[in-house]
Amino acid sequence: MNDITVQMQGFIESVKATEIYQEYERQKMKLRGYPDLKARIDQFRQYNYEIQNNTAEDQLFDRMDAFQKEYESFREIPMVHDFLAAELAYCRMIQQINDVIYQEFMSDFE
């Protein structure tokens, strides 16, 4: 392995050691015992993605509002809530990492 590969592997291990990643993994493991609930969460996530990526800007607020109302009771299920909260924290951490890397390498072009 070359030096950058070794350093990347170290970075990946550092991310995996974070409490955010560990909590996300715990929540994923809990869901494995509930395949029907996991399927419903996957459907929720897919629908959310489609609304955010396939809705005209002038309709986005109304569609998201309706979506949130439709899934309000579903999101109150403790296992669903805990998984979605852990996933959101993990995604935000990855976004922050990506932002820092992007800024570091793209600052020369601004």
Per-residue pLDDT reduced to its tens digit, 63-91: 999 999 999 999 999 999 999 999 999 99
Give me 1's structure tokens: 């392995």
What are the tens digits of pLDDT across the range 1-11? 689 999 999 99
Query: Burial of 41 by CB count in 10 Å (0-12 exposed, 13-18 middle, 19+ buried)?
Result: buried
Question: What are the C-alpha distances in Å from 88 to residues 21, 59, 81, 91, 109?
Answer: 11, 24, 10, 5, 31
CB 57 within 8 A of CB 4: no
DSSP annotation of 77 = S
Q: What is the pLDDT of residue 110?
A: 61
C-alpha–C-alpha distance, residues 53 and 81, integer Å? 23
User: Mutual orientation of helices 78-106 and 19-32 as an angle, nearest 10°?
Assistant: 140
pTM, to two decimals: 0.85
